[in-house]
């Protein structure tokens, strides 16, 4: 990934290295920031002596030491061929690399221990202030506002420390990864497998900050609310049986996960399901088993197409495999025009009862018999759960639903207890795992889930064909706002920032099935082609964890012979390998840059109107590619294949003929108009690129299309409008034919014939267009509803018919 600065316009942009040709060179006036420069520009003062010596290691690779004579000889002429890498060079390089790893690992460990001690000290101070507040008498003065402000500043400083440590770790891990790759490429010695073992022995990059985030969230919430945090039930199940929310989903790059958590905890506390126990990693684990018919994939296609009433059935549990409570859930999609909202309903079931329930051996009445006796829930709530259990059981038995896919992730939820108006959840380490027995491999067998795995991410024991590890975290913003009420300002800034990438209607179930069953699924979700696109972006506006006074000391280096690695790894640096853009890094260093142009926010969709320098993605719909139709027909064979082949060949020939005729017809050509100052400010001076993603042969990319009843009515009204037009023209034709002069009425007959032909053409055209549009609406295809030629042709024909009638009538009256 390259960071580019235009010296003429003083603007910065980033360019994907995946799309850079091998011999690409920046045009004059552009500065290309390489990783070494990004490393220097992103240095934090506190860590400036503990970063990896990337430049030194790179210099050692380019100038191997060897014997003194060889080194002297190599300095005499720079044009001599590069000396072969020896075992002594390898030992020296590995020794230096090991010392750099020890330096980074030691600093990370020391800083992590320091942060833990500071959190413990702040916890004692906060508890002391809150206890004084709660135990004060009627006439006693409690803690002052100044004390709370000092505590808040101290916690903010700790939050910034956690943020800086996370960035330090990310940047160094990228540096080690890149220098190892450069070593293997330049020397021919393969060091990566060996060094992976050393990294596992000193895993500075695997530090988990979830426990620190939970503690900081609790303390910050106490201080922010001045010792009066919101109270209420925050259980993971129970009261959340049926609820309705407006949900938007985003992808988050792993480099931005910690920063995102720290930003959110300043506004919402982490939702802890069991405050009485110490936080453990297993507490945030969530596992779901999704069911579907492996022959027809009804649930998959229904959820993908968002058809009215589409369902998703899953069994979910929280924590480890020893959890006895399993939630049976059903999601039901409702179209907006129905006046209803999509609903998730669920009920609890003991693990030992799951198999009998799914086989039909345990009836819903027996499941809720104990609940009725205990009387802990109302009769109405029990009746709703019983009806839900009966409907799900009937669907599983009737339609042959089997376990097909498992999703596992760690969830960090942010929400005020007993207040669901704003709920934000961040799912990390998302993995989709096969649960089926379709290929002869016994995974779940006759059980409702497979038992050979638990929550031991990254599930190294599974073969690659059984698991898909999602490269990003999933952010879900769930709002329960009143009619017309806007979400909080900080939420709007968060979802329009560089930290997230909006992916509307993303589904773990859909992605898992599409990824794990490539030979059985032909309809793909629209986001699948975007999996190879780096989602990291430059900073759009001033938003994030910031702390004044932390500038960096940087040095300059004229390293002009650095090559560009064709690195496709997810941790490749794009906007600074630590997740920051070069603009942000320069700001840290105290450099003066022109102010960033504010990016307008789309109020309706709560997304950013990004500059058009970003790529625009176009998708081949399921009716746009003749290759897809031909591939499907080839699998069917017989007359179907030959008919499709003839149809596609005719379409290509007609299209080529039409394009050739258009070239022959003289017509005005479009003239490129230069961008004005305002458009240059918004879009930049670069070329606007379009990318077209094409699905593999035999596959289709499903593009979401919203269809409501008013769309059908609009198509019918358009058809009736054309029909009315045709009736008027036919009436004119009948009038000219029946009431014209009988003798010598040839002109009148010709005019009547012209109007008759026009009326027939109008009727035929309206019927064909209506049938085409109706079919496109029913199948939810992305069709072009803009009619460019029909009205023009018919109006021209009407003009000719009227003119002919006028001319012939004038001749019959001997006017000319």
Dihedral of CA 238/331/250/479: which sign? negative
Q: Would you say 535 and 472 are in contact if contact means Cβ atoms under 8 Å apart?
A: yes
Burial 2-22, CB ≥16 within 10 A → b, else e = bbbbbeeeebbbbbebeeeee
Q: For residues 632 and 638, what is the distance between their CA atoms, to the nearest angstrom?
A: 12
Q: Which residues pair with 406 in a beta bridge?
A: 289, 433
Tokens representing 76?
């005499």
Burial of 414 (0-12, 13-18, 19+ CB in 10 A): buried
The residue length of the chain stands at 816
Helices (H), 225-319: 257-265, 298-305
CA proximity to 422, closest of 137, 669, 173, 230: 230
- 793 in helix, strand or coil? helix
Helices (H), 324-454: 354-359, 364-367, 369-374, 379-399
Active site residues: 508
Kindly report each contact of residues 589-597 with a partner whose C-beta sits within 8 Å and lies 24 or more positions away, as own/partner: 589/41, 589/43, 589/551, 589/552, 589/554, 590/551, 590/552, 594/10, 596/539, 596/540, 596/541, 596/542, 597/681, 597/682
Q: For residues 220 and 158, what is the distance between their CA atoms, to the nearest angstrom?
A: 11
Q: For residues 479 and 491, what is the distance between their CA atoms, to the nearest angstrom?
A: 10
Provide φ and ψ at 810, rounded to 5°. Answer: -65, -40
Provide φ and ψ at 426, rounded to 5°. Answer: -125, 115
């Amino acid at each position: 990934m390259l960071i580019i600065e235009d010296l003429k316009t003083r603007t910065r942009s980033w360019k994907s290295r995946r799309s850079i040709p091998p011999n690409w060179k920046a045009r004059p006036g552009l500065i290309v920031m390489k990783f070494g420069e990004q490393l220097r520009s992103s240095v934090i003062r506190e860590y400036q002596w503990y970063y990896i010596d990337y430049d030194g290691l790179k210099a050692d690779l380019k100038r191997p030491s060897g014997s003194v004579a060889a080194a002297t000889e190599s300095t005499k002429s720079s044009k001599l061929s590069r000396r072969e890498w020896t075992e002594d060079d390898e030992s020296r390089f590995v020794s230096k690399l090991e010392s750099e790893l020890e330096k980074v690992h030691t600093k990370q460990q020391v800083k992590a221990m320091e942060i833990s001690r500071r959190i413990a000290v702040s916890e004692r101070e906060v508890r002391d202030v809150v206890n004084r507040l709660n135990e004060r008498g009627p006439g006693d003065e409690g803690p002052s506002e100044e004390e709370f402000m000092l505590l808040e500043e101290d916690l903010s400083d700790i939050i910034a420390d956690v943020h800086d440590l996370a960035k330090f770790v990310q940047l160094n891990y990228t540096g080690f990864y890149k220098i190892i790759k450069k070593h293997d490429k330049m020397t021919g010695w393969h060091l990566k497998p060996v060094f992976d073992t050393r990294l596992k022995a000193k895993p500075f990059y695997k530090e988990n900050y979830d426990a620190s985030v939970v503690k900081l969230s609790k303390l910050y919430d106490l201080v922010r609310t001045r010792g009066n945090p919101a109270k209420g039930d925050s259980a993971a199940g129970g009261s959340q049986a049926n609820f309705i929310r407006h949900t938007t989903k985003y992808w988050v790059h792993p480099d931005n996960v910690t920063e995102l958590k720290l930003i959110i905890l300043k506004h919402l506390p982490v939702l802890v399901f069991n405050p009485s126990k110490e936080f453990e990693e297993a507490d945030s684990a969530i596992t779901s088993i999704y069911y579907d018919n492996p022959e027809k994939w009804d649930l998959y296609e229904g959820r993908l197409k968002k058809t009215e009433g589409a369902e998703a059935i899953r069994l979910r549990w929280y924590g480890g495999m020893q959890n006895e409570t399993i939630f049976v859930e059903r999601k039901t999609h409702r179209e907006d025009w129905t006046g209803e909202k999509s609903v998730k309903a669920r009920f609890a079931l003991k693990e030992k009862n799951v198999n009998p329930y799914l086989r039909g051996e345990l009836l819903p009445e027996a499941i809720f018999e104990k609940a009725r006796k205990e009387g802990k829930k109302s009769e109405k709530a029990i009746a709703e759960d019983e009806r839900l259990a009966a409907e799900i059981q009937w669907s599983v038995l009737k339609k042959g639903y089997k376990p097909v896919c498992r999703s596992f992730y760690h969830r960090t939820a942010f929400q005020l207890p007993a207040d669901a108006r704003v709920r934000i959840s961040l799912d990390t380490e998302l993995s989709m795992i096969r649960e089926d027995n379709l290929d002869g491999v016994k995974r779940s067998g006759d059980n409702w889930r497979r038992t050979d795995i638990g929550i031991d991410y990254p599930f190294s024991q599974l073969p690659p064909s059984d698991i898909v590890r999602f490269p990003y975290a999933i952010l879900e913003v769930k709002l329960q706002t009143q009619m017309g009420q806007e979400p909080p300002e900080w939420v709007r800034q968060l979802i329009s920032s560089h930290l997230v990438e909006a992916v509307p209607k993303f589904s773990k179930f859909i992605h898992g099935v599409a990824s794990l069953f490539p030979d059985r699924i032909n309809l793909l979700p629209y986001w699948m082609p975007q999996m190879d696109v780096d989602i990291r972006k430059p900073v759009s506006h001033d938003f994030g964890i910031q702390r004044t006074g932390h500038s960096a000391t940087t040095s300059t280096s004229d390293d002009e012979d650095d090559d560009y690695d064709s690195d496709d790894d997810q941790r490749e640096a794009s906007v600074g390998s630590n997740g920051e853009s070069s603009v942000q890094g320069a700001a840290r260093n105290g450099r003066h840059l022109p102010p960033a142009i504010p990016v307008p926010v789309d109020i309706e969709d709560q997304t950013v109107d990004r500059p058009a320098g970003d790529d625009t993605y176009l998708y081949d719909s399921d009716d746009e590619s003749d290759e897809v139709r031909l591939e499907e027909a080839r699998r069917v064979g017989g007359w179907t294949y030959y008919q499709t082949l003839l149809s596609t060949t005719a379409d290509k020939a007609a299209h080529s003929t039409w394009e050739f005729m258009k070239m022959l017809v003289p017509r005005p050509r479009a003239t490129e108009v230069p961008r004005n100052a305002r458009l240059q400010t918004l879009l930049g001076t670069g070329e606007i690129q379009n990318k077209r993603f094409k699905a593999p042969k035999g596959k289709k990319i499903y593009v979401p299309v919203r269809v409501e009843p008013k769309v059908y009515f609009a198509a019918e009204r358009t058809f009736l409008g054309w029909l009315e037009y045709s009736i008027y023209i036919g009436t004119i034709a009948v009038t000219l034919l029946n009431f014209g002069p009988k003798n010598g009425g040839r002109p009148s007959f010709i005019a009547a014939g012209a109007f008759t032909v026009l009326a027939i053409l109008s009727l035929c055209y309206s019927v064909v267009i209506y049938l085409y549009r109706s079919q496109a609406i029913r199948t939810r295809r992305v069709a072009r509803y803009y009619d460019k030629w029909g009205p023009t042709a018919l109006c021209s024909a009407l003009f000719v018919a009227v003119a002919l009638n006028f001319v012939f009538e004038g001749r019959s009256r001997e006017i000319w």
